[in-house]
A = this chain, B = another copy of it.
């Protein structure tokens, strides 16, 4: 993709990085500052800033500056979107996998009569 314009793109992309997931895990324990977030991480402050910006653009984090420190907090809404997509898929295909035929069908050559409903 040249640029990830869709919200889901941004959310999943944000979640695809272990550093960013670590940030979210830390934030799920409570709001905190940028340098506090950066402390345990093996990288420079600017790098952490960039990760936070990615999270913020994805709508996973909101932040506000108070005095000279920036406080970051989680925002649940974006997660719900990602969750919603996954849930929809899980429902669809777990239902389907329950129908025994699908696996056999796969072994047999697939799309012969794949979508029997």
A 65-105 to B, binary, CB cutoff 8 A, 1 in contact else 0: 01101011110100110110111011011101100001101
Q: Is A46 an interface residue (CB 8 A)?
A: no
The majority secondary structure among interface residues of chain A is: helix
- Could you write out 30 A-B pairs with CB less than 8 Å apart? A1-B17, A6-B18, A8-B18, A12-B16, A13-B16, A15-B86, A25-B89, A27-B93, A28-B96, A29-B92, A29-B96, A30-B116, A31-B106, A31-B110, A31-B111, A32-B114, A33-B111, A62-B106, A66-B107, A66-B109, A69-B109, A69-B110, A71-B106, A71-B109, A72-B110, A73-B106, A73-B110, A76-B93, A76-B94, A83-B90
> What residues of chain A have their CB less than 8 Å away from a CB belonging to chain B?
1, 4, 6, 8-9, 12-13, 15-19, 21, 24-25, 27-33, 36, 62, 64, 66-67, 69, 71-74, 76, 79-80, 82-83, 85-87, 89-90, 92-94, 96-97, 102-103, 105-111, 114-116
